[in-house]
């Protein structure tokens, strides 16, 4: 076991830090306030290789792993959770096409999704089916060389901005998860329109919108993997996605802890810095401890993934723990800043709003507990 970053990981962390300090740190508040997605910065992330970390070099990736990818995501999330989510969401079509796509699909999409020339998103959730993902109703009817698709997707991160979507749709109606198929949908296809920009508690610099699919003709060649294999593809992609959400949450928590620590050593009350009071320093100690524990859990899930070992349970544990830690840390950071914590002049309240959604996206933390407990039961059943 090795708990230290290797040379490549150290270099990567230094270079993403430099990028973030130059291109992101000073602009986040403005993007959030104006509800503006920084498409130019996303493109620059791609041009600098940060969007292609865990993908093969032959498709313009860096040929590294999730252990490196989470370093990048955490650093981005420390300054812009919106951008980190955009990168994580871009990763879902990347990993699905990389793992399940045919050669043509890989050649057409992977290099551009890594370079930032195209951006991607993931369309699973529907107005009536969120946690119960296998009940989705969007339907794709085969007509010769095309599938004609009708339905509505909801709460889609990066909808309207993203060029390429992995769309999950039923291609049969028996009610089984084996009816669901994955397709590559592009935003320029006839019949694709987007709903209003949802007004959200946080992550305002990345759009969340509905996608309406009205007789959209998707070429059969855009099917990813086999017909009826889409639900498994979505679940496997979410296993990986949950690691990226964990690292995003750790980035938010780290930023909140640093903000609270700096405040606590400079703010004076009763003639001393407030950090002299254990009511302030002990919560800071808990923050540091829990963030480190969350990071180790996330690194372990990433390590298992990179090693080709099962990691579904570990990814859910990392997502569950890291996002709950982020919620606790950001709430306590607001408390340490007192009245200033509640004001928009300080970033603490933004971190708290951003942490909340991490407990919801890519499977609520109740769903993570379901996944973890089901696997525990399966493991013990195999032993007895
Ligand atoms: N890997 C591979 N296959 C899997 C799997 C996994 N991790 N999880 C389930 N499956 C397979 C099962 O083996 C089963 O296959 P068979 O029928 O061949 O045996 C099939 O999928 C159905 O599985 P279940 O019976 O377990 O399905 P379920 O409905 O009981 O539970 C669930 C599944 C875990 C609740 C799942 O629906 C789930 O994860 N729901 C949450 C959805 C979610 O995370 N949405 C996030 C949207 S994307 C997002 O948030 C992005 C963003 O905007 C930031």
User: Whose alpha carbon is nearest atom 26 of ligand 1?
Assistant: 371
Q: In this predicted structure, what is the pLDDT of residue 359?
A: 98
3-state secondary structure of 366: helix
Summarised one tens digit per residue, pLDDT across range 350-377 is 999 999 999 999 999 999 999 999 999 9
Catalytic site residue 362?
yes
* Cα–Cα distance for residue pair 376/384, rounded to 1 Å: 13
3-state secondary structure of 267: coil
Give, for ligand 1, the residue of 177, 180, 372 to mutate: max count of ligand atoms closer than 8 Å to Cβ. Answer: 177
Give the relative orientation of helices 81-100 and 103-115 as an angle to the nearest 10 degrees: 160
Cα of 129 to ligand 1 centre, how many Å? 12
User: Whose alpha carbon is nearest atom 34 of ligand 1?
Assistant: 371
Is the torsion defined by CA of 342, 272, 259, 318 positive or negative?
negative
- For tokens 């865990």, the residue is 54
* Cα–Cα distance for residue pair 325/319, rounded to 1 Å: 10
Give the relative orientation of helices 66-79 and 7-23 as an angle to the nearest 10 degrees: 30
User: Whose alpha carbon is nearest atom 48 of ligand 1?
Assistant: 362
Q: In this predicted structure, what is the pLDDT of residue 106?
A: 98
Cα of 311 to ligand 1 centre, how many Å? 14
**Category of 296 on φ-ψ map: left (φ > 0), alpha (ψ -120 to 50) or beta:** alpha
The reported pTM is 0.97
φ, ψ dihedrals at 207, nearest 5°: -70, 145
Ligand 1 binding site (Cβ under 6 Å of any ligand atom) = 85, 89, 122, 124-125, 131, 133-134, 157, 177, 231-232, 235-236, 238-239, 312, 361-363, 367, 370-371
Contacts 24+ apart (CB under 8 A), 232-235: 232/177, 233/96, 233/99, 233/100, 233/166, 233/182, 234/124, 234/133, 234/166, 234/168, 234/180, 234/182
Structure tokens at 291: 């963030």
Cα of 235 to ligand 1 centre, how many Å? 5
Cα of 9 to ligand 1 centre, how many Å? 32
Structure tokens at 288: 């540091």
User: Whose alpha carbon is nearest atom 9 of ligand 1?
Assistant: 235
Which parts of the chain have pLDDT scores under 50?
Answer: none
Q: In this predicted structure, what is the pLDDT of residue 1?
A: 79
Cα of 210 to ligand 1 centre, how many Å? 21
* Cα–Cα distance for residue pair 90/116, rounded to 1 Å: 9
Q: In this predicted structure, what is the pLDDT of residue 72?
A: 98
Q: Which atom of ligand 1 is nearest to the CA of 245?
A: 54
What number of other Cβ atoms are within 10 A of residue 125's Cβ?
Answer: 20
The alpha carbon of residue 129 and the mean position of all alpha carbons in its chain are separated, in whole angstroms, by 19
| Strand ranges for 47-111 from DSSP E | none
Q: Give DSSP secondary structure letters for 210-249.
A: EEEEEEEEEEGGGEESSTT-HHHHHHHHHHHHHHHHHHHH
* Cα–Cα distance for residue pair 380/349, rounded to 1 Å: 43
Is the torsion defined by CA of 92, 115, 17, 23 positive or negative?
negative
Please tell me the number of Cα atoms within 13 Å of 119 on its side-chain side. 25
Please tell me the number of Cα atoms within 13 Å of 371 on its side-chain side. 24
Report the b/e string of 68-78 with b at 16+ CB within 10 A.
bbbbbbbbbbb
* Cα–Cα distance for residue pair 84/251, rounded to 1 Å: 9
Q: Taking CA 180 as the corner, what is the angle to CA 155 and CA 190, rounded to the nearest 5 degrees? A: 60
Nearest to 253 by CA among 299, 284, 274: 284
φ, ψ dihedrals at 5, nearest 5°: -70, 145
139-143/146-157 β-pairing: antiparallel
* Cβ atoms of residues 54 and 283 within 8 Å: no
Structure tokens at 206: 């990345």
Structure tokens at 234: 């979505």
Cα of 348 to ligand 1 centre, how many Å? 34
Report the b/e string of 361-371 with b at 16+ CB within 10 A.
bbbebebbeeb
Q: Which atom of ligand 1 is nearest to the CA of 92?
A: 51
Summarised one tens digit per residue, pLDDT across range 56-81 is 999 999 999 999 999 999 999 999 99
Question: Among residues 39, 104, 362, 379, which one is catalytic?
Answer: 362
């Amino acid at each position: 076991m090795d708990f230290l970053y290797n040379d490549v990981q150290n270099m990567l962390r230094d270079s993403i830090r430099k990028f973030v300090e130059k291109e992101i740190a000073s602009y986040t508040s403005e993007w959030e306030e104006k509800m503006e997605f920084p498409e130019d910065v996303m493109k620059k992330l791609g041009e600098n290789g940060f969007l292609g970390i865990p993908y093969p070099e032959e498709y313009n990736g860096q040929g590294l792993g999730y252990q490196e990818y989470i370093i990048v995501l955490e650093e981005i999330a420390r300054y812009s959770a919106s951008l980190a989510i955009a990168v994580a969401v871009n990763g879902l079509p990347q990993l699905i096409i990389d793992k399940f796509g045919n050669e043509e699909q890989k050649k057409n999409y992977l290099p551009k999704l890594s370079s930032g020339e195209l951006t991607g998103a993931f369309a699973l959730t529907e107005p009536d089916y969120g946690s119960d993902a296998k009940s989705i109703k969007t339907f794709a009817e085969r007509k010769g060389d095309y599938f004609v698709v009708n339905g509505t997707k909801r709460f889609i991160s990066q909808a309207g901005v993203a060029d390429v979507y992995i769309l999950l749709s039923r291609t049969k109606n028996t009610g089984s998860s084996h009816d669901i198929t994955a397709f590559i949908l592009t935003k320029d296809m006839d019949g694709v329109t987007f709903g209003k920009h949802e007004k959200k508690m946080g992550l305002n610099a990345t759009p969340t919108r509905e996608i309406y699919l009205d007789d959209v003709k998707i070429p059969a060649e855009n099917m990813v993997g086999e017909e009826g294999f889409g639900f498994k593809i979505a679940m496997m992609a979410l296993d990986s996605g949950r690691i990226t959400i964990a690292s995003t949450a750790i980035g938010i928590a780290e930023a909140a802890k640093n903000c609270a620590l700096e405040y606590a050593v400079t703010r004076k009350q009763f003639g001393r810095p407030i950090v002299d009071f254990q009511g302030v320093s002990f919560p800071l100690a808990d923050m540091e401890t829990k963030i480190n524990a969350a990071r180790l859990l996330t690194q372990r899930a990433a390590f298992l993934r990179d090693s080709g070992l099962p990691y579904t349970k570990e990814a859910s544990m990392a997502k569950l723990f890291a996002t709950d830690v982020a919620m606790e840390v950001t709430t306590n950071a607001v408390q340490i800043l007192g009245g200033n914590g509640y004001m928009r002049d300080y970033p603490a309240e933004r971190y708290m709003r951003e942490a909340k959604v991490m407990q919801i996206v890519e499977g609520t933390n109740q769903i993570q507990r379901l996944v973890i407990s089901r696997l525990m039961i399966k493991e013990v059943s195999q032993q007895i």
